[in-house]
Structure 1
């Protein structure tokens, strides 16, 4: 019966326009991701060596690199980029493992997931503003201990944020990437067969006398880590070349390399763009070295601890690490909640003298004044986000449908390419795209910004939808095809209704990613397209705390509304369907 259904399905696919589009979609996906990234990299390499037709420079040379090496504080910029990226990723990864190990197979892990999940949708700029408010000399932490513990009656002199060692950047990146890695790990463990197998092995280890955390590291981690490697490398690549966090929390003299490159590129002196291109190439090399260093460290740890996996030891001071993880988890959650509370209080604060913990009066005038100025940025944010997300959803669905038509998953090469925009420093290939845009005299900034957002939205949308699409019961499609339904009708009326909830979640995630894009909007748009994120970053470096807090809250509210709708609409849909 299955064989007959498959043969009928094949006959219906022949000479069908929808089938042709579906079969071409993976190639289009590869072209969409490879051409801009690699083309952007090539277009940034050539100007780095002096060939820049947009500036009427056609002589190949090393002037850009000479100017780069002569930049004061270049070594400090490089060290800041490497240290903040590597340390923040390592801290986020270690904390993720500790939380998983301490709470594995317990109800507490679900509670932690529910608390940290909303943090995932907060844009990096909004998170940086919130963290800056809490660690500033007159921030919430200082107010909570003053004057009863610190003795401070006036705001103290402090180095946070903008400390020269990048501690503020590390703190911000760690707290922002921890929920991402934790939820990625939980998503892997949620796979029915794989998760069930690991949980059963964990129970066997417990029955053999292993402590819970020891059982996790000996049984679960060796199977989990290979599937978590790509997300970790994506986090590492982003952290080493991020702009929003260092721009808001990092030092200014000198800044991280990525921030310095952005300043050079946006300088009124256009010749600095040659230097910026050389810097972007240096950033690419630095990020590549960090990724290689991580992989080398991974191999070294694997061989160093290989014997410990099979030595039969049941505990490694497990009680101490269990209690330490409990305390660490409480501190992390408390810090995040305090940062959000402080952000909300600053947005409605009237007169608020130090060291008062709460404002003396609450007002809404900051929202009222900001609402007049944010009409255009809000419209741009929503429009760009909706267009880029819808396009990404459609392309993802077509590519996943092609898997079912070909009865095999996409290749490992394609799976890696999907991560390409996340693994390559955006500051490198985006500069190349800007050079190409200027070379082609492309003046359509809006379309260019939408396209640049697609490069970052598409990978997350694909990863969000892939598991749900692949779990669809294909027998429904075979029955519909045997009754004469064409592939497009099967796709539209059989498959999409079953994917209603996952599509909404992927849409909310895509919108959240687009809403938080700062560098693509700024560079590709040439500063002509204002969004809530670009305005929030600008205000964070000079405007009042109250105005910055308002923009940061709007930044957080937009993706949060999307996820709330994605959670409510399926319930309302299924409720009305069963009436």
Structure 2
């Protein structure tokens, strides 16, 4: 009996070891095969090879149809300008805030204000911004009683302006908190953060003004840590669908929105043009990445002299006041957008230019909740399955890293970012081609798998630092007492990682809840979620109903992060009773 028990125990240990060692390879397969397979499956139809449509002759008719598209040049320019300008604005404002409030308690307060914004899905953020800047939006309503004599909503150009200013505004406000929190996360690293703060203080002691000290001392060490997040933001901004679809023009739209329409058209021949357009989008995003890296090197060379010239200040007092004013305006804008969204969701009769509704009602919530049962179930089911799978794969990969006593290869570390630095619209179409060939009816599984591609990188990046900071002495003591690696993993490491795992789960759910294009394409329109419904309603439905769906979209990830914050306190409090 004892021999059987020992054999069973060894089998469990061997099974755990095999899974752990294989997990990094599995991670690579999950990320590489769909993304590169999707790119290949876009490449072939773009050049005319699409057996499913009985086209097996290579040619350039897909690109010819693309070049003949009316307004293609405007689509390309709109894509480039909105993606590049929004990224530059978000990055510059991030640097101004960091430099103005570095080593100040205000930086932590700004972080607390911006942190909840990070979990707001792009579609919900776009709806909120659209309600604010619309001709009859909150800004017009607040201005009209005091600075104008408007009795009817004015003819405004926002949203849907042809220059893409609304898109730039929405993307900047959404990506700014991400870049700021990424920078603060880097500065929170014990050794690096302490070193940079000490260097900043030394510069202040030498007579440098705070903002100048930040740019000359802190930024050169900080920027390399922010390069990948910035590039990911640039790729997303240049190939975004939700923001341009809700805030952008329709004649013509951005290239990504046009590609989506072509792919969904009942005329299947347009899918050939959509594939060619996806390759063009890939080239545009790649070109923006190359432009950013070239500009980075040029600025690095040009800034060598200013960094070493010993000049103590560059109008710091003026820039400090400008940054404070800009920060207050951004916070006020975001707050007003959210207030407007809540008011529209509760508004009864609300005549323009009244700043507030005549009365508040719950009718819109009751009507929407009665109809959102299926989308809500799909949202939760897809999010939970994709996130839990991502967490399990990540934990096994990080455990393999510790058991082998060496970090994951540089190749693996780069591949983790693959779905983030390649425009999703470029490889999603190809991946959908493959999924339809393999099993067209497995819509739910297809959506879960595609969500996993986007959830996995964020979950891994969220958990990696916490797992790698675990004190190895606990595992060594447990192993010296005869505890198997499996039990060390389950009983020693996972309890210590309870809070980080919950945060990773909340982050994964937030990422999944906000996926619009992957859900729409992989599900073939058959899997509706809160996000797909919100985007659909934002383009033509009642403003009040759209506001309700946008609020539900924001509340779902917020609940996840609240649970991630509350449960560890309850867990540890119960453990010590």
| TM-score above 0.5 | yes
Q: Are the counterparts in 1 of residues 74 and 252 from structure 2 also a CA contact under 8 Å?
A: yes
Matches within 5 A, 1:349-498: 349-498=347-496
Distance 2:13 2:210 in 1: 57
Aligned position for 1:125: 123
The one-character-per-residue Cα deviations of 1:320-349 (angstroms, maximum 9, x if unpaired) are 100000000000000000000000000000
Q: Are the counterparts in 1 of residues 44 and 50 from structure 2 also a CA contact under 8 Å?
A: yes
Distance 1:511 1:317 in 2: 44
Aligned position for 2:27: 29
Change over 3 Å in CA distance of 1:479–1:423 after alignment to 2: same
Aligned position for 1:193: 191
Name the SS of the counterpart of 1:159 in structure 2. Answer: coil
Aligned position for 1:292: 290
Alignment match of 1:562 (pick from 556, 560, 563): 560
Distance 2:13 2:461 in 1: 31
Aligned position for 1:308: 306
Distance 2:410 2:355 in 1: 54
The one-character-per-residue Cα deviations of 1:195-247 (angstroms, maximum 9, x if unpaired) are 11111111111111111111110111000000100000000000000000000
Unaligned runs of 5+ in 2: 1-9
Aligned position for 2:315: 317
1:440 Cα deviation from its structure 2 partner: 2.3
Q: Are the counterparts in 1 of residues 132 and 337 from structure 2 also a CA contact under 8 Å?
A: yes
Distance 1:170 1:148 in 2: 28
The one-character-per-residue Cα deviations of 1:404-428 (angstroms, maximum 9, x if unpaired) are 1111111221111101000000001
Distance 2:207 2:14 in 1: 60
Matches within 5 A, 1:248-267: 248-267=246-265
Distance 2:148 2:409 in 1: 60
The one-character-per-residue Cα deviations of 1:254-307 (angstroms, maximum 9, x if unpaired) are 000000000000001111000000000100000000000000000110001111
1:150 Cα deviation from its structure 2 partner: 2.1
Aligned position for 1:140: 138
Aligned position for 1:72: 70
Matches within 5 A, 1:37-76: 37-76=35-74
* TM-score when normalising by structure 1: 0.97
Aligned position for 1:228: 226
Q: Which runs of at least 4 in structure 1 moved beyond 4 Å after TM superposition?
A: 12-15
Distance 1:141 1:193 in 2: 45
Distance 2:484 2:48 in 1: 56
Distance 2:180 2:88 in 1: 13
Q: Are the counterparts in 1 of residues 13 and 486 from structure 2 also a CA contact under 8 Å?
A: no
Distance 2:413 2:214 in 1: 28
Aligned position for 2:112: 114
Distance 1:148 1:448 in 2: 53
Aligned position for 1:9: none
Alignment match of 1:18 (pick from 16, 19, 26): 16
Distance 2:197 2:400 in 1: 33
Distance 1:35 1:257 in 2: 26
Distance 1:468 1:456 in 2: 20
Q: Are the counterparts in 2 of residues 134 and 141 from structure 1 also a CA contact under 8 Å?
A: yes
Distance 2:210 2:91 in 1: 19
Q: Are the counterparts in 2 of residues 54 and 438 from structure 1 also a CA contact under 8 Å?
A: no
Q: Are the counterparts in 2 of residues 76 and 254 from structure 1 also a CA contact under 8 Å?
A: yes
Q: Are the counterparts in 2 of residues 448 and 525 from structure 1 also a CA contact under 8 Å?
A: yes
Aligned position for 2:503: 505
Distance 2:11 2:194 in 1: 37
1:153 Cα deviation from its structure 2 partner: 1.6
Whether 1:546 and 2:548 are equivalent positions in the alignment is no
Q: Are the counterparts in 1 of residues 459 and 504 from structure 2 also a CA contact under 8 Å?
A: yes
1:372 Cα deviation from its structure 2 partner: 1.3
Q: Are the counterparts in 2 of residues 147 and 153 from structure 1 also a CA contact under 8 Å?
A: no
Name the SS of the counterpart of 1:402 in structure 2. Answer: helix
Name the SS of the counterpart of 2:547 in structure 1. Answer: helix
Q: Are the counterparts in 2 of residues 283 and 425 from structure 1 also a CA contact under 8 Å?
A: yes
Matches within 5 A, 1:163-202: 163-202=161-200
* TM-score when normalising by structure 2: 0.98
Q: Are the counterparts in 2 of residues 13 and 486 from structure 1 also a CA contact under 8 Å?
A: no
Name the SS of the counterpart of 1:145 in structure 2. Answer: helix
Unaligned runs of 5+ in 1: 1-11
1:13 Cα deviation from its structure 2 partner: 12
Name the SS of the counterpart of 2:147 in structure 1. Answer: coil
Number of residue-to-residue matches in the alignment: 568
Name the SS of the counterpart of 1:366 in structure 2. Answer: helix
Alignment match of 1:204 (pick from 202, 205, 211): 202
Aligned position for 1:82: 80
Distance 1:148 1:289 in 2: 47
Q: Are the counterparts in 2 of residues 13 and 19 from structure 1 also a CA contact under 8 Å?
A: no
1:77 Cα deviation from its structure 2 partner: 0.2
Q: Are the counterparts in 2 of residues 54 and 435 from structure 1 also a CA contact under 8 Å?
A: no
